[in-house]
């Protein structure tokens, strides 16, 4: 029994109790039926880690790396499907980690500036996946589509185990390395002077990002990974005044996107991945508009106070 | 006799195949306050990057506390202060205290949770730099002078004895500049820190440094502040001929 199934057994009774408090007709089933519980747990685990990781990606100006690596992992998934693998995600993992290392090397050695290397890997591996699927005669099947758009309800016990194992491992790594990751992102030269191995830390961070992205492909699909990786972290930045609160709020917004997204997708019978991504974007818009409104009201009241003083 | 902190001997450094500095010799002892001046592209930043161990010398040697740059010993003793206006990332929400805390990390304690002595050092660095009333404020909301103080506090939190500053006066108003210079003077004379500062601001360096170094590919002047040459002599040193 893997980490995911153990966690599910532990939380299953709690989820069942929670089901009575949940609104809607279909949504409470996510807390009651084992198949749905599995999906919900996978989504919750992924959203927590993705939110935490996303805050570091924003600091490092790497908002698009998640999108790039997700498309790369689709190339890996294609190889897995054509070869008849039981879990194509393992192939995605190899493709994603290898590409993450190569992208990091291209960027850190100044061979390709900015996002150019991400763009090349993104399109190259996605194209490879599509060509390989057609060439091998498999084509774009329902299974292939589930990796493109995400199909949370197809999460098997072994998928849950894989997701839980890699996410918990990545989360622990991120928590332990948090000060060093922040230091190297904020000021790499000072970190170098302090004796922190900046290059190695950057490389390790890229590998962790690649791993987390692959676990997310199952939940939201290749095309929507950025929604859980970057949008909650960006929403958190709007209301946070410290990095600590950014980390906290990005996880809260990630979880909110998952719960609201699953609720609406269940009740309106739409795809879960797309609804989760849409909710994450709507949350950003609501928080952004509120912050902008608040700041214009306070600047208006400041101006009127100054005019009164004159 | 004072301890030798930095010993640069016949140093030449290339960047992108071009010699940027050559035959540079610089000796800094404990308690010195050395100001390095020079025109744009004269090699000031290159010299600092070589001292920090980021750029490798083409020839010559650099010894910091008797060791090569970026060794375990120098990691704890050097505090790097970059130009805050240009180097603090805009896409991070981080408080002054969070930023200063990053200064306490080093090779030996990278994976440790911060302990009480680290926290004390952070508070002490914030107090010395006069940032107590903004310690929970986001760095992006500070004035130019306060931002620069925050970066200095980060360097102080590492307990460094040798502070290296790169253009700390850029983007700072006159009043903040004066109080920043007082802070640096206090660090040198009251705390016994050794300071090496690169700046375009000749007046600021004249006000604070004990010694001035004029660098333009190589060192063209190295001596006490009061002996720093006037404009005509400086033009002569740089090989610039009168045009009128």
- Can you tell me the distance from the alpha carbon of A128 to that of A78, in angstroms, rounded to the nearest whole number? 8
pLDDT tens digits, one per residue of B177-210: 888 899 999 999 998 999 999 988 888 888 889 9
Residue A303: CB partners within 8 Å, gap ≥ 6?
none
Dihedrals phi, psi of A141, to nearest 5 degrees: -85, 180
- pLDDT confidence of residue A310: 59
CB contact under 8 A, A58 and B92: yes
DSSP A115: T
CA distance, residue B177 to nearest chain A CA (Å): 23
B143 inside domain: yes
Domain of B81: which CATH number?
Answer: 3.40.50.300
Given phi > 0 = left and psi -120 to 50 = alpha, else beta, which region is A2?
beta
Instruction: Using alpha carbons, list the distances in angstroms from residue A303 to A165, A293, A300, B141.
Output: 55, 15, 5, 19
- Can you tell me the distance from the alpha carbon of A150 to that of A123, in angstroms, rounded to the nearest whole number? 19
Q: Which residue has the higher pLDDT, A247 or A114?
A: A247
What b/e string do you get for A178-195 counting C-beta neighbours within 10 Å, with b at 16 or more? bbbbbbbbbbbbbbbbbb
pLDDT tens digits, one per residue of A131-154: 999 998 888 888 888 888 777 887
Average of per-residue pLDDT across A46-75: 91
Task: Please state the domain count of chain A.
Answer: 1
B243 inside domain: no
Whether the Cβ atoms of residue B101 and residue B118 lie closer than 8 Å to each other = yes
What percentage of chain B reaches a pLDDT higher than 70?
A: 98
CB contact under 8 A, A196 and B105: yes
Q: Does A176 touch chain B (CB under 8 A)?
A: yes
Q: E strand or H helix at B6, and its extent?
A: strand B4-15
Residue in A with minimal Cα distance to B95: A242
Query: Which of A186, A189, A244 has its CB closest to that of B102?
Result: A186
Q: Which range marks the domain in which residue A84 is found?
A: 3-222
Query: Which of A58, A179, A192 has its CB closest to that of B52?
Result: A192
Whether the Cβ atoms of residue B24 and residue B219 lie closer than 8 Å to each other = yes
Would you tell me which residues 45-84 of chain A have a C-beta closer than 8 angstroms to some C-beta of chain B? 58-59, 61
A239 inside domain: no
CA distance, residue B95 to nearest chain A CA (Å): 5
Mean of the per-residue pLDDT values of chain B: 87
- pLDDT confidence of residue A230: 92
pLDDT band at B113 (very low <50, low <70, confident <90, very high): low
Residues of B in contact with A187 (CB under 8 A): 82, 87-88, 102, 154
Q: How many CA atoms lie within 13 A of A166 on its CB side?
A: 22
- pLDDT confidence of residue A207: 95
Whether the Cβ atoms of residue A255 and residue A47 lie closer than 8 Å to each other = yes
- pLDDT confidence of residue B131: 92
Q: Which residue has the higher pLDDT, A212 or B237?
A: A212
Task: Please state the domain count of chain B.
Answer: 1
Average of per-residue pLDDT across B208-214: 91
- How do strand B211-216 and strand B33-37 relate by DSSP bridges? parallel
- Can you tell me the distance from the alpha carbon of A46 to that of A39, in angstroms, rounded to the nearest whole number? 11
Average of per-residue pLDDT across B211-225: 90
A287 inside domain: no
Tokens at A188, concatenated: 């790499």
The answer to whether residue B85 scores a pLDDT higher than 70 is no
Concatenate the DSSP letters of all residues of B157-193 into one string: HTT-SEEEEESTTTT--HHHHHHHHHHHHHHHHTS--
- Coil, strand or helix at B32: coil
The answer to whether residue B135 scores a pLDDT higher than 80 is yes
B244 inside domain: no
A211 inside domain: yes
Q: Does A192 touch chain B (CB under 8 A)?
A: yes
CA distance, residue A80 to nearest chain B CA (Å): 37
Best of A174, A195, A199, A298 to disrupt the B interface (most B CBs within 10 Å) is A195
Q: Which range marks the domain in which residue B233 is found?
A: 4-238
pLDDT band at B154 (very low <50, low <70, confident <90, very high): very high
Whether the Cβ atoms of residue A46 and residue A167 lie closer than 8 Å to each other = yes
Residue in A with minimal Cα distance to B83: A187
Q: E strand or H helix at B113, and its extent?
A: none
Concatenate the DSSP letters of all residues of A48-89 into one string: HHHHHHHHHHHHTT-TTHHHHHHHHHHHHHHHHHHTT-S-HH
Whether the Cβ atoms of residue A92 and residue A144 lie closer than 8 Å to each other = no
Global confidence as pTM: 0.88
Would you tell me which residues 27-86 of chain B have a C-beta closer than 8 angstroms to some C-beta of chain A? 52-54, 70, 72, 75-76, 78-80, 82
Whether the Cβ atoms of residue A65 and residue A116 lie closer than 8 Å to each other = no
Domain of A108: which CATH number?
Answer: 1.10.3470.10
B114 inside domain: yes
Q: E strand or H helix at B28, and its extent?
A: strand B18-29
Task: Give me the helix-helix angle, A88-108 and A116-135, nearest 10°.
Answer: 150
- pLDDT confidence of residue A131: 93
Mean of the per-residue pLDDT values of chain A: 89
Q: How many CA atoms lie within 13 A of A51 on its CB side?
A: 27
Best of B52, B86, B93, B162 to disrupt the A interface (most A CBs within 10 Å) is B93
In chain B, what is the greatest distance between 2 CA atoms, to the nearest angstrom? 66
């Amino acid at each position: 029994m893997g980490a995911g199934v153990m966690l599910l057994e532990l939380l299953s009774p709690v989820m069942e109790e929670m089901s009575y408090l949940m609104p809607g007709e279909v949504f409470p089933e996510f807390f009651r039926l084992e198949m749905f519980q599995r999906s919900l747990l996978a989504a919750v685990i992924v959203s927590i880690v993705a939110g935490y990781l996303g805050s570091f990606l924003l600091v490092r100006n790497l908002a698009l790396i998640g999108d790039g690596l997700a498309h790369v992992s689709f190339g890996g998934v294609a190889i897995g499907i054509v070869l008849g693998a039981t879990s194509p995600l393992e192939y995605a993992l190899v493709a994603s980690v290898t590409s993450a290392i190569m992208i990091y090397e291209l960027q850190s050695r100044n061979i390709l500036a900015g996002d150019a290397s991400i763009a090349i890997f993104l399109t190259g591996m996605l194209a490879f996946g599509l060509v390989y699927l057609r060439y091998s005669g498999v084509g774009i099947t329902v299974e292939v589509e589930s990796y493109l758009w995400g199909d949370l309800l197809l999460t098997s016990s072994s998928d849950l185990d894989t997701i839980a194992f890699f996410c918990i491992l990545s989360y622990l790594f991120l928590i332990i390395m948090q000060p060093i990751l922040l230091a190297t992102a904020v000021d790499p030269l000072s970190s170098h002077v302090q004796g922190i191995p900046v290059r190695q830390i950057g490389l390790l961070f890229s590998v962790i990002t690649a791993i987390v992205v692959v676990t997310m492909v199952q939940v939201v699909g290749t095309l929507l990974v950025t929604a859980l990786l970057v949008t909650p972290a960006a929403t958190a930045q709007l209301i946070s005044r410290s990095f600590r609160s950014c980390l906290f709020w990005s996880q809260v917004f990630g979880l909110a996107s998952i719960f609201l997204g699953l609720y609406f997708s269940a009740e309106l019978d739409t795809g879960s991945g797309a609804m989760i991504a849409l909710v994450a974007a709507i949350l950003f818009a609501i928080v952004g508009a509120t912050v902008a409104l608040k700041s214009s009201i306070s600047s208006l009241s400041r101006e009127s106070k100054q005019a009164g003083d004159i | 006799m004072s301890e030798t902190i930095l010993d640069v001997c016949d140093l030449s450094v290339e960047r992108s195949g071009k010699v940027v500095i050559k035959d540079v010799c610089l000796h800094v002892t404990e308690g010195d306050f050395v100001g390095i001046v020079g025109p744009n592209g004269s090699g000031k930043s290159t010299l600092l990057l070589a001292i920090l161990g980021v750029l490798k010398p083409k020839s010559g040697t650099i010894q910091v506390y008797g060791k090569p740059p970026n060794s375990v010993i120098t990691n704890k003793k050097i505090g790097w202060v970059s130009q805050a206006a240009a180097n603090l990332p805009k896409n991070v929400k981080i408080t002054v205290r969070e930023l200063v805390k990053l200064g306490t990390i080093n090779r030996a304690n990278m994976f440790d949770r911060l302990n009480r002595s680290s926290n004390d050092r952070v508070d002490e660095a914030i107090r010395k730099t006069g940032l107590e009333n903004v310690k929970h404020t986001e760095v992006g909301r500070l004035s130019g002078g306060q931002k620069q103080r925050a970066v200095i506090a980060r360097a102080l939190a590492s307990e460094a004895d040798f502070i290296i500053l790169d253009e700390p006066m850029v983007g700072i108003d006159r009043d903040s500049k004066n109080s920043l210079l007082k802070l640096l003077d206090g660090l040198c004379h009251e705390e016994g820190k050794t300071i090496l500062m690169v700046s375009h601001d000749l007046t600021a360096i004249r006000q604070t440094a004990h010694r001035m170094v004029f660098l333009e590919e190589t060192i063209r002047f190295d001596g006490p502040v009061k002996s720093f040459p006037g404009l005509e002599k400086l033009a002569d040193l740089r090989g610039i001929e009168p045009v009128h």
